[in-house]
Structure 1
Amino acid sequence: MIKTMPANLTELESEVARLRHELQSLEVERKDDDEITIANYLLTRLEQLGVTSVFGVPGDFNMPLLDYIEDHPRIQWIGNCNELNAAYAADGYARVKSHSIGVVVTTFGVGELSAINGIAGAFSEMVPVLHIVGVPSTVQLKTKPLLHHTLGDARFDVFTKAAEQVTISQAMLMNKVHAAAEIDRILIDCITRARPVYLTFPSDMVSEKVSAKRLKIPLSRTLPPNDPQVEQFVLDEIIKVIGEAGGDMAILVDACVLRHDVQDEVKDLVTATRFPVYSTPMGKTTVSEQFDRYGGVYIGSISDPAIKERVESAKLILSIGGLKSDFNTGMYTYRIPTTHTIELHSDHVLVQHAHFPGIGMKQLLPKLTPRLREFRGRASELAVSKAKLEVPIERDNDITQSYFWPRVGKFFKKKDVIVAETGTSNFGILDVPLPEQSVFVSQMLYSSIGWSVGSTLGTALAARNKGLGRVILFVGDGSMQLGVQEISTMTHHGLTPIIFLINNSGYNIERNLHGMNRKYNDIANWKWTSLLTTLGDVDGTLSRSYTVRDKSGLEKLLDDPEFSNAGKIQLVEVIMGKYDTPRALKLAAELSGKYTEKSAKQL
């Protein structure tokens, strides 16, 4: 009988790793007494993590820290128009800047509460973001005077309590003795657990000095090891189950492949074994969509029929990093029984009905890949339905959803970073195969309307830092109105995204979910082509704006080399029908309605 790990052993081993780091740091500190301000200690740690941009909004309680950020030679302060957009930007930055984190700085109370929705989205979608809050002095935090930005009732901890709900770890720097250790603790949690963390920085602690020597000890990214005996048993069970299925298996990759840094291990697996591989919507571009064994996006009943048939007819599915949310699974319409499923996760494995806690996929995959090579011959024989990028021939010259998405698919290039807003854009682009080394960025689980605009700012800065290609945003007119101010920040920092703004007179996704003809789903129309000159490009030299109303106008623009080169920030207003909806979104809305109705009957 195999002895499984206690459910809390992962947490215990994480604590052991932290204590080991702390002992190493203390040993180094005893050998020398070089000192550094706490502010510069934090910034040095962020630099070690590859952070080159910090987002936020100034406020009186965080300005002492902002002085240090602005003066740092290698970290750039990116001042935002509001805190919510700053949090969105930090989220987008972290998604594209692999092995780094996003950082947002706000002020006490009013600032941090404005940012909390963006932090909640990062928590929901497992994005590593550090939220730094400049707070009153340590004396004021203890004596609790009637200060501005408070609720006026001496509850100075109320905002921290709110933050605890959407961050994995918190630290309050109340004395310099523990400051460095606390900073290290939450940063290790951030990078190993792929979740936001929260740091309060009192104004009088910024210039206090601590030992600099512990900075020589890198922050540990080491995960708790798998129990060797249990891991061996799991590997044997997986091989046995695959053998029983005759090697008839497909691989399904999902969001946690990205969030928990196993993209390289998955690439090795699919390359070595040649099993057909599919992705979920949240896992799009986790595996190259030009790989010859990649078959497309599986989203339950919403899937392309050929993809649905291939996935659901496989005798076994190896799911890696699965995240079974409603939109990600086609409103829970997977037709894959548990007996046909192996699931690998960051901290556990499921083999059919057997559950193995404490076995992480990061350590398991490199051992699984060589053992699966024995099935390569059979795997190579399994058919893959390749997604074809075909632009439909339509008699009407109007721009339709069915025409638009495959047409822009032909516009994409290698290394493009493509950001899609929740709704029309997110669902419209799902069936479009993306180029080699491209990066797809979306927020399908949390689905905060307006997220993509602020996120594009962080995405573009990270893409520039990593040497990626163009940044292309697809956003609806309704969503754009929620976060439009951040276009000015993009222009100010010389970023040149291409923004395709879909003008269909309101909230298309909401119309399909409920209230097709309700006025609450309408919005006031804007003069969209004036946005870029209004929001930063005051003399009209840094940007270009276009309106396309028909297919011929769109074709001409997409074929224009100057437009395609993305040398300036550009906005394209694309006029579409008010009720025209992508196929996948229409099906998702119908299934959502049925699911809601069924759930209500069960009460």
Structure 2
Amino acid sequence: MTVTEYIMVRLQELGVDHVFGVPGDFNLSLLEQVTTAGEFTFVGCCNELNASYAADGYARVRGMSALVTTYGVGELSALAGVAGAYAEKVPIVCINGTPPLRAVENGALIHHTMADGNYSNMLNCYRNFTVAQALLTPANAGEEIDRVLLACVSKSRPVYLQIPSDVAGAEIGRRPQSLNLDTVGDAAATALAVETITERLNRAHKPAILVDADIGRFKLLEMALSLAERRGLPIAYLIPAKGLIPESHPNVIGIYRGAASSPDVLDAVEGADCLICIGARFTDVATGLFSQNLRKQNLIDVQSDHVAGDNFFFDNIRVAQVLERITEAGETSIRRFNRVDHALPPHRSTYADSASVNQDSFWQLIQTFLKPGDIIVSDTGTAFFACSQLDFPEQTNFLGQPIWSALGYGVPACLGACCAAPSRRVLLFVGDGGLQMSVQELSTLFRLGLKPIIFLLNNDGYTIERLIYGAGSVYNDLQPWDYPLLPRVFSPSGGCAVKTVRTNNEVHEALNSTAGNDTLQFIEVILPRLDAAQPLSRFLQRVAEFNFSDAGVEA
């Protein structure tokens, strides 16, 4: 078994069957083995940054992904996307083909390097944005691959493997046994954490739960729901958990956005005398720019590897075990809570069919278009904020970047999601600015025969930036493209349904036409230049104050 074959066995074991990347001379032997083995599909992307976003999208649906780049020029191109995955806690196995091991050991002056003999600089770059790294040799490959992959699983963040070109095909002196994915924590610390939280819950008069994306990243959802059901607790969630929690569950009350929350959510969260926060990170976007009013003495911070409170800290715990035990210690008290934070008007009757479509009417129509099991991908911008206000049907996945917020994420992440779940309907919402950054991956979607429904929200430039600063300034302008011609550029033979819509009725007709249309669908939606929902406009005003005012919002 070669080093590459060993990695492939491990990736299969972890549910990965696609590899994203770009070929380069140092990874060709590795890619030859990947593509001839038969168990994997190699998805060659147009550039490494797009490949990293595609790997991110795939991992959010499948649980993990693999990204292959070449040394220096390739891996640094991908690094911005890998950093985003690190911020968002998305596990990607970054596999980098390096110059031959003898060249690395001798400090040879090779292309794709700084020509200074330094072969530690690339690894050092990745060290800041991955949780484990290794330079593989024939002697250490098996042990190091397992160590790094276990870190990827346990931390739910990217890892980095350097594979020299003459090592990728080297024989490895061990056969892989099944990975032991059970996290071993400190039993005593776990028991103390359970005892402390249970005692706090038992004497609380108004407890509640607040969850973040960790409920999905670390498979804690069922435990959180069981705790809420057994104890009769309301569950609110931060924006990164959108699409990871069933919104119709009787204990789920809606999104907590700091001061921008609905009154009932605000009262449940900020009025709680014991608030169990599972994986919570109170970022600017999640809190309406730090508008939360949470009393520290009432918070219990449950993270993937520790539990903390006002006067306690337990490290190296097993978070799943903590949640299971505090659930078992409580009495059953099933209770239904009102979910009242619907941010969108419930009906579209207030909008004339013949009127020009705007942000409010478009998203009302999209609300009625959603189906159970959809995968919704949103680029950063007005689309992401609007999607976060929709009511998602059961089994909906939502892919976006509320923390990293990289413009251009959407199209390649849509590619990754389509590869991860080819039988599910994938909807992409992307602005004209985001599309212009990563539009090349439309060609990859066509090449693989993938068929998402793409909504291009054309509002003539960088609307988010315009609403923060420089509404009429040239730096927020984009060169207009003839967007409906793009599918013909990337797929001259056809295979795409294209529409441009300007009125509410045209949107309605376009949505109806998608039924039974077995092709990629590209719908350009013409929107007003400075149009945004009122909650987003208010948030962006606060962003402007925070960024540019001497007496602005405090973090």
- TM-score, normalized by the shorter chain, greater than 0.5: yes
Question: After the TM superposition, which residues 415-494 of structure 1 pair with which residues of structure 2 at under 5 Å, given as runs?
Answer: 415-464=373-422, 467=423, 469-494=424-449
Taking structure 1 as the reference length, the TM-score comes to 0.87
The 2-side partners of 1:294 and 1:477 are apart by 34
Partner of 2:157: 195
The 2-side partners of 1:367 and 1:328 are apart by 29
Contact 1:389 1:409 survives alignment (8 Å): no
Deviations 1:174-207 (A, max 9, x none): x311111111111111111111111111111122
After TM superposition, give the deviation of residue 343 of structure 1 in Å: 2.2
The 2-side partners of 1:599 and 1:282 are apart by 29
The 1-side partners of 2:216 and 2:554 are apart by 36
Query: Aligned to 2:259, what secondary structure does the other structure show?
Result: coil
Matched, 1:394 2:336: no
Partner of 2:533: 582
Deviations 1:512-543 (A, max 9, x none): 222222111110111111111211x2121x11
RMSD: 2.1
User: Residue type matched to 1:289 in 2?
Assistant: E
Q: 1:219 aligns with which of 176, 179, 182?
A: 179
* Distance change (3 Å), C-alpha of 1:517 and 1:386: closer
Query: Aligned to 1:489, what secondary structure does the other structure show?
Result: helix
After TM superposition, give the deviation of residue 278 of structure 1 in Å: 1.6
Contact 1:417 1:472 survives alignment (8 Å): yes
User: Residue type matched to 1:94 in 2?
Assistant: A
Contact 1:255 1:323 survives alignment (8 Å): no
Matched, 1:531 2:531: no
Contact 1:496 1:566 survives alignment (8 Å): no
Partner of 1:570: 521
Contact 1:306 1:385 survives alignment (8 Å): yes
Matched, 1:177 2:139: yes
Query: Aligned to 1:399, what secondary structure does the other structure show?
Result: coil
Contact 2:186 2:316 survives alignment (8 Å): yes
User: Residue type matched to 1:189 in 2?
Assistant: A
Q: 1:45 aligns with which of 3, 10, 17?
A: 10
The 1-side partners of 2:93 and 2:517 are apart by 31
Matched, 1:347 2:305: yes
Partner of 1:102: 65
Partner of 2:285: 327
Deviations 1:73-128 (A, max 9, x none): 11111111000000111111111103xx2111111111111111111111111111
The 2-side partners of 1:442 and 1:143 are apart by 43
The 2-side partners of 1:212 and 1:602 are apart by 55
User: Residue type matched to 1:133 in 2?
Assistant: N
Query: Aligned to 1:336, what secondary structure does the other structure show?
Result: coil
User: Residue type matched to 2:202 in 1?
Assistant: G
Matched, 1:547 2:500: yes
Question: After the TM superposition, which residues 276-291 of structure 1 pair with which residues of structure 2 at under 5 Å, given as runs?
Answer: 276-291=234-249
User: Residue type matched to 1:391 in 2?
Assistant: H
Q: 2:450 aligns with which of 473, 495, 515?
A: 495
The 2-side partners of 1:456 and 1:566 are apart by 18
Contact 2:252 2:337 survives alignment (8 Å): no
The 1-side partners of 2:305 and 2:299 are apart by 17
The 2-side partners of 1:471 and 1:404 are apart by 18
After TM superposition, give the deviation of residue 342 of structure 1 in Å: 2.1
The 2-side partners of 1:427 and 1:502 are apart by 13
Q: 2:512 aligns with which of 549, 555, 559?
A: 559
User: Residue type matched to 2:154 in 1?
Assistant: T
Query: Aligned to 2:265, what secondary structure does the other structure show?
Result: helix
Question: After the TM superposition, which residues 21-32 of structure 1 pair with which residues of structure 2 at under 5 Å, given as runs?
Answer: none
Q: Normalized per residue, which structure has more helix?
A: 1
Contact 1:428 1:584 survives alignment (8 Å): no
Matched, 1:505 2:460: yes
Deviations 1:548-587 (A, max 9, x none): 1010101112223xx0345211111111100001233212
The 1-side partners of 2:347 and 2:76 are apart by 45
* Structure 1 unaligned spans of 5+: 1-35
After TM superposition, give the deviation of residue 305 of structure 1 in Å: 4.4
Contact 1:302 1:587 survives alignment (8 Å): no
Count residues with an aligned counterpart: 551
After TM superposition, give the deviation of residue 231 of structure 1 in Å: 3.2
User: Residue type matched to 2:512 in 1?
Assistant: D
Q: 2:76 aligns with which of 100, 103, 113?
A: 113
Q: Which runs of 4+ in 1 moved over 6 A?
A: 599-603
The 1-side partners of 2:385 and 2:98 are apart by 41
User: Residue type matched to 1:137 in 2?
Assistant: P
After TM superposition, give the deviation of residue 494 of structure 1 in Å: 1.4
The 1-side partners of 2:68 and 2:259 are apart by 42
* Structure 2 unaligned spans of 5+: none
User: Residue type matched to 1:184 in 2?
Assistant: D
Taking structure 2 as the reference length, the TM-score comes to 0.94
The 2-side partners of 1:259 and 1:432 are apart by 22
Query: Aligned to 1:564, what secondary structure does the other structure show?
Result: coil
Contact 2:4 2:169 survives alignment (8 Å): yes
After TM superposition, give the deviation of residue 383 of structure 1 in Å: 4.7
Contact 1:496 1:567 survives alignment (8 Å): yes
Partner of 1:28: none
Query: Aligned to 1:209, what secondary structure does the other structure show?
Result: coil
The 1-side partners of 2:392 and 2:372 are apart by 8
After TM superposition, give the deviation of residue 170 of structure 1 in Å: 0.9
Contact 1:103 1:130 survives alignment (8 Å): yes
Partner of 1:31: none
Partner of 1:6: none
Contact 2:71 2:97 survives alignment (8 Å): yes
After TM superposition, give the deviation of residue 250 of structure 1 in Å: 2.5
Matched, 1:130 2:90: no
The 2-side partners of 1:210 and 1:320 are apart by 41
The 1-side partners of 2:18 and 2:39 are apart by 9
Partner of 1:362: 320
Query: Aligned to 1:211, what secondary structure does the other structure show?
Result: coil
Contact 2:467 2:540 survives alignment (8 Å): yes
Deviations 1:291-336 (A, max 9, x none): 1332221111222445334433344322111121111121111122
Matched, 1:237 2:196: yes
Query: Aligned to 2:500, what secondary structure does the other structure show?
Result: strand
Matched, 1:410 2:368: yes
**Identity in percent:** 33
After TM superposition, give the deviation of residue 264 of structure 1 in Å: 2.7
Contact 2:376 2:397 survives alignment (8 Å): yes
After TM superposition, give the deviation of residue 67 of structure 1 in Å: 0.5
Q: 1:301 aligns with which of 243, 246, 259?
A: 259
User: Residue type matched to 1:46 in 2?
Assistant: L
Contact 1:131 1:199 survives alignment (8 Å): yes
